[in-house]
Amino acid sequence: MERNNLYPIFLKTDQLRILIVGGGFVAEEKLHFLLKSSPDASVTLVAPILREGTLEAGAGFQTTFCQEPYHPDYLLGHHLVIAATNDPDVNRQVFEDCRKRRILVNVADTPSLCDFYMGGIVTKGHVKIAISTNGKSPTTAKRLREFFESILPEDISLLVQNLNTYRRKLKGSFEDKVSKMNDLTRPLVEED
């Protein structure tokens, strides 16, 4: 049976510079979901034509818009790139330019040209859950996101804060602290 071998990470986007190449509907969607999850992200968006909705999606955030065709010089200083144009040749060029510079890249709707996928994300305060279908079914990821949003309590962030306060007060070795936290949180997953 095939399995998902992707390694999930959570990026500190306030410490990274992100480039989106494209200005249409797909670029707008990528920008919207990126800023929804990480409103402190520093994003540059470059495209010869920028839709009004794309401009609106970046308004009020740390978003820079460059209404010009893509050029490899735009990669300078960026850590992560998303290619979301309607031109497969431009998307492939972005991918190849990123590879030469060892910059992580995602080419929208082209799994073979992606170093990472942008999965479904559930956020409730301090709790964030990322969902991946290995690039096979974004719709399934969307439905799972909706499911988790509906079952996670709104006050789960308060639980996390209280557990953090308790954890910081614990004495003993690392192993002792882990054991105490495991004992305390076990009822969260035990069935009645």
Which residues of 56-103 form beta strands (DSSP E)? 62-66, 80-83
What local confidence, expressed as pLDDT, does residue 188 receive? 81
What local confidence, expressed as pLDDT, does residue 37 receive? 92
Token representation of residue 162: 């209280």
Neighbour-count burial for 125-157, b at 16+ CB within 10 Å, e otherwise: eeeebbbbbebeebeebeebbeebeeebeeeee
Phi-psi map region of 145: left, alpha, beta (phi>0 left; psi -120 to 50 alpha): alpha
What local confidence, expressed as pLDDT, does residue 151 receive? 92
Q: Which of 78, 109, 82 is nearest to 95 (CA)?
A: 82
Q: Are 28 and 3 in contact (CB under 8 A)?
A: no
What local confidence, expressed as pLDDT, does residue 78 receive? 98
What local confidence, expressed as pLDDT, does residue 192 receive? 61
Token representation of residue 53: 């909705």
pTM over 0.95? The answer is no
| Mean pLDDT per 10-residue segment, the chain (192 residues) | 88 96 96 95 97 96 98 98 97 98 96 90 91 86 92 89 89 88 85 66
What local confidence, expressed as pLDDT, does residue 135 receive? 77
**Using one digit for the tens of pLDDT, what is the confidence trace for 53-91?**
999 999 999 999 999 999 999 999 999 999 999 999 999
